[in-house]
Structure 1
Amino acid sequence: MDYTNFNMRLDNDLRGRVYPILEQYGLTPSQAVRMFFNQIAQTGKIPLSFDWAENQTLTPKAAARLRQTEQEFANGEFERFYSLDELNQAIKESSHG
Structure 2
Amino acid sequence: VLDCHTAHIACKFAELVEKIDRRSGKKLEDNPKFVKSGDSAIVKMVPSKPMCVEAYTDYPPLGRFAVRDMRQTVAVGVIKAVEKVDKATKATKAAVKAGKK
Same fold flag (TM > 0.5): no
Taking structure 1 as the reference length, the TM-score comes to 0.19
Higher percent of residues as strand:
2
**Higher RCO (C-alpha 8 Å, min separation 6):** 2
Q: Which has the larger share of helix?
A: 1
